Amino acid sequence: MQLVNATRDELLKPLQVVSGIVERRHTLAILANLLFRKAGNTVSFVSTDIEIQITTKANFGVGDDEITTTVGARKILDILRALPDGPVSLNLKDNRMVVQSGKSRFSLQTLAASEFPVMQTGGEVTASWKMSQGAFKQIISQVYFAMAQQDIRYYLNGMLLVLEGKELIAVATDGHRLAFSQLTLDHPPTGAGQKQEIIIPRKTILECQHLLSDGDDPLEIGLSGNQIKLSFGDIELISKLVEGKFPDYQRVIPKGHKNTLVVGRETLQAALQRAAILTTEKFKGVRFSLSSSKITIQSTNAEQEEAQEEIETKYDGEPVEIGFNVTYLLDVLANIKNNEIQISLGDANSSAIITLPGSESFKYVVMPMRI
């Protein structure tokens, strides 16, 4: 029975969207599969890892039949990538999915759709709002790199999203640095109207970055119970949320640092990349020395090799010497797009704060390092 008739690229596009979250190692065999649903010419593909579910639709179904089955995600994706451009058909025969293109033919095992763990959605929608995909992607991209990875403080392995009135705030921290980004929505969200604080898992955030476009295409976000739902284009992403209490980020952000300078982002980035060459693998420390009108950056390694970089800048604060993990600085410089950044320092034992000149919408706090 023929299910789909499409070109290789038409079929590859939705499969690539849903396959990103399919784990190579899984506890249930069915989690390696995609749920394939066909109703008339509408075909939907669903993937899940129990925590996240992605659904996408396309209109290349053949015939009026309604069919539901599951097939291995990686295998069908690898087959389509290896095929040359041209028409591809999917057929169901004796509980096998047959992929056919030109003189190539592949017969894949299927598993019963009834075994597939579709995430249940429901419950009261506590808030929903619309914004552009580009705006949400930008607020994520300014903080995601500060999320923890596999920290026993599980609430740090994700991004805090705060919704209060029309203000949307994203925060991420791993205990060594903290990134904060804020924007104002065009329209207030609908729903209960109360302040919402949720923690979105790390994997969901990385998947959003991968799937969202940079432009003004619309995105609808809804919160309900322990779930967040994002709908954009032909894609629907549902994710469970991380339970737990995120640290009070307001207390972490220093206020009143008097030693402030503005420096070109690319100039500082290039100098730090060069200085990083002579840092040790474990000890990624660089020393910042601020004196009148210049920054001196120094690094050394176990072999007593040294690197020194000087950057001219307008600075009339007190002389300061402070150490940082160079990776934490390079991360932030790679993920903001402004030409200039502002650095505010206290003393050698105080956290530094990096902001954008004339703006309160972005803050990055990084703890000092003893060198």
Task: Please give the angle made by the CA atoms of 145, 17 and 54, to the nearest 5 degrees.
Answer: 85
| Closest to 92 measured CA to CA, from 34, 40, 36, 11 | 36
Q: What domains can you pick out in the chain, each with its CATH number?
A: 2-115 (3.10.150.10), 125-250 (3.10.150.10), 254-366 (3.10.150.10)
> β-strand 320-325 against 235-240: which pairing, if any?
unpaired
Backbone angle region of 223, left / alpha / beta, with phi > 0 → left and psi within -120 to 50 → alpha: beta
The most distant pair of C-alpha atoms in the chain lies apart, rounded to whole Å, by 79
**Alpha-carbon span 328 to 84, nearest angstrom:** 43
**Alpha-carbon span 354 to 363, nearest angstrom:** 6
pLDDT at 23: 85
Contact 166, 188 (CB under 8 A): yes
Calculate the alpha carbon distances from 346 to 224, 293, 319, 331, 350 in Å: 42, 17, 10, 22, 6
Contact 300, 322 (CB under 8 A): no
| Closest to 181 measured CA to CA, from 204, 210, 205, 154 | 205
SS3 328: helix
Dump pLDDT digits (tens) for 222-276.
999 899 999 999 999 999 999 999 999 999 999 988 899 999 999 999 999 999 9
Amino acid at 54: I
> β-strand 87-93 against 96-101: which pairing, if any?
antiparallel
Dump pLDDT digits (tens) for 70-121.
999 999 999 999 999 999 999 999 999 999 999 999 999 999 999 999 998 8
Amino acid at 86: G
pLDDT tens per residue across all 371 residues of the chain:
888 999 999 999 999 999 999 988 878 899 999 999 999 999 999 999 999 999 999 999 888 889 999 999 999 999 999 999 999 999 999 999 999 999 999 999 999 999 999 998 877 888 999 999 999 999 999 999 999 999 999 999 999 999 999 999 999 999 999 999 999 999 989 986 789 999 999 999 999 999 999 999 999 999 998 999 999 999 999 999 999 999 999 999 999 888 999 999 999 999 999 999 999 888 899 999 998 889 999 999 989 999 999 999 988 888 999 999 999 999 999 999 999 999 999 988 999 999 999 999 999 999 999 87
SS3 252: helix
